[in-house]
Structure 1
Amino acid sequence: MACKAKLMIPEDENCFGHLLLIEDLKWNSQIVHGLLLRKADPKTVTQVNGIKFIVGNKLIQFTAQQFCLITGLRFGKLPFIPKATNENCSLKRKYFSSNKPATLSDLHTAFIECTDDEDALKLGMVYFANFVLLGTEKHVLIDMRYLKLAEDLEEFDKYPWGAVSYAMTNASLLRAICAEYQRVKVPQKRKMPKQRGKRAQTRMRSGRPREYIIRGFGFALQVNTYPAIKYLM
């Protein structure tokens, strides 16, 4: 990944450094999908302190505290960040000065083509936050506040990225597998095609395909599930 190649710096000098040092962590959609099929009914089990799953006779919780321990990301109150403009943000002025709304695809292009080492690092931090921690797709508009935040890397490192990423992940997991999907207890077995990204697809007894996307940092849920994998089999 180009982002990882440009951000190979000591972990103690960057809030994302420890995540960049992780090797061979592969997304396993079967594990996550199997867990989501066992999501506890919010009508009978409260989800206030995180999402709960019933696997066998075990209750598995996925809380903000567990997310924090797994990811090592900072939590806390979100500070106010002014929106980046051509006047107050050099990154905006240099790479996204057009009046046309900029998407994350434009961020990808700017980061890959950037020849200034300092700007590349700043753009790379925003790139990592959006594509890895938030799981955002390329067609989504850039949150210009993050460009402004990246102007000061010390403040960027202090930002509670764990809280932002967990909120996105938690909301995505709560939405994943709609009520109609959950009514189907056993999906039909069929060969799963290879797909890019964190997508999972299966076919219901009605023959209609159902698809959902996990946003945020779903790897944290996957890691949290490892001790209970044997109960998913």
Structure 2
Amino acid sequence: MTTSKSGKKYPARLYPEGKCPLQSGSMNHNCHLANLQMVEEVVGLDVWESIKTSSVGVILRLKELNYTWSAKAVHHLLTNQLVVNNIHEIWSAIEGQPIRFSLYEFGDITSLNCEPFNINDEVEIDHKPFWEELGVSPSHGPMLSELQSLFTKIRNWSFEKRRMIGLLCVLSIGVLGISPDSRIPLDQAKRVLDIEAFDRYPWGRVGFSSLVNSVKIVSYEGRNKYTLRGCVHALFIWVYESIPGIGHEYGNHIEGNQVPLLSWYGSRGRINWDEFYKKEKSLHLKVTFLFFIIVFF
């Protein structure tokens, strides 16, 4: 157990402060929103606007913000993690205070459906003919690289088929955040053939699991970089939403948007954490938090 500067105790750090092997390392991720630009162009405006009103439309609206992603901000939190047994939560120490990222925060930030999976909600639909058009084995879900190879062919496809392609791309890029050569799970990919089945599925829970699992399996030993999956942008917005001083000092806030993920253009510059901590302590005696900060255990 570690004692905070407020005297409260909480679990030990994953590594001593400032001693994480990846302290000066770099982060990669697969949730590249710029990759959605080509998707928008090939599926057509009618399909793009349709997907924007779907259950994963927040990903497209985030892409259209052209906001600035900051890997350094997220890296700072991950290199200051606490040791927690809950595989569905990430805790970090911010200037002696613990802060949590869980399914609750992810759902609040993204507005994606994070309800529990319904084991009885099975999609009974024959996906094989469409998979044959895609050139994908019927026993597998498609890869983004396979979908991209079809981009020169699909412009004249029907609205329904172009929407299926678009939804599959959004799942790979924005929800699962997996590499172009990784397959979308078949049971999830088949849902694009039934828009109602697609929209009622808890894609937020899927995206959260992909993100947090990738954080949990990171090896910080003997390497200078690591790769995250999932919608990493939720982690960045978590920084702004939970530490208001950071948002005020470095962020570009968008007034009037009720979805936190769509409420920031991004950073005005690289965050200087040491300077920020000094300023916070001079103003408030400690770092202040807006929400997402709760009493540990």
Residue 225, structure 1, aligned to residue 266, structure 2: no
**Separation of aligned partners in 1, 2:234 and 2:179:** 19
% of aligned pairs identical? 22
CA shift digits 1:26-82 (9 cap, x unpaired): 32111111111101123xxx5466110001122111010110011111123334546
Q: Partner of 1:119 in structure 2? A: 161
Q: Partner of 1:194 in structure 2? A: none
How far did 1:100 drift?
Answer: 10
How far did 1:133 drift?
Answer: 1.1
The residue type equivalent to 1:216 in the other structure is G
Residue 174, structure 1, aligned to residue 213, structure 2: no
State how many pairs are aligned.
Answer: 200
Do the aligned partners of residues 4 and 57 (structure 1) sit closer, same or farther apart at CA in structure 2, a change above 3 Å counting?
farther
**Separation of aligned partners in 1, 2:129 and 2:190:** 8
The residue type equivalent to 1:232 in the other structure is W
CA shift digits 1:8-38 (9 cap, x unpaired): 3167731122331220233211111111110
Q: Partner of 1:110 in structure 2? A: 150
Structure 1 segment 190-205 matched on structure 2, within 5 A: none
Structure 1 segment 144-183 matched on structure 2, within 5 A: 144-178=186-220, 180=221
The residue type equivalent to 1:148 in the other structure is K
Q: Partner of 1:193 in structure 2? A: none
Q: Partner of 2:89 in structure 1? A: 50
CA shift digits 1:156-193 (9 cap, x unpaired): 11111001110111111122352x36xxxxxxxxxxxx
* TM-score where L is the length of structure 2: 0.59
- Which structure 1 segments of 5+ residues have no match? 182-208
Do the aligned partners of residues 49 and 214 (structure 1) sit closer, same or farther apart at CA in structure 2, a change above 3 Å counting?
closer
**Separation of aligned partners in 2, 1:100 and 1:72:** 32
Q: Partner of 2:111 in structure 1? A: 72
On the 8 A contact 2:93/2:99 being kept in 1, the answer is: yes
Q: Partner of 1:63 in structure 2? A: 102
On the 8 A contact 1:15/1:73 being kept in 2, the answer is: yes
Structure 1 residue runs of 4 or more that deviate by more than 6 Å after TM superposition: none
**Separation of aligned partners in 1, 2:52 and 2:232:** 24
The residue type equivalent to 1:124 in the other structure is G
Q: Partner of 1:198 in structure 2? A: none
* RMSD of aligned alpha carbons: 2.8
> Max radius of gyration: which structure?
2
- Which structure 2 segments of 5+ residues have no match? 1-36, 247-270, 275-297
CA shift digits 1:199-219 (9 cap, x unpaired): xxxxxxxxxx52210101111
Q: Partner of 1:3 in structure 2? A: 39
Do the aligned partners of residues 74 and 112 (structure 1) sit closer, same or farther apart at CA in structure 2, a change above 3 Å counting?
farther
The counterpart of 2:227, out of the listed 213, 218, 225, is 213
**Separation of aligned partners in 2, 1:112 and 1:213:** 30
On the 8 A contact 1:31/1:222 being kept in 2, the answer is: yes
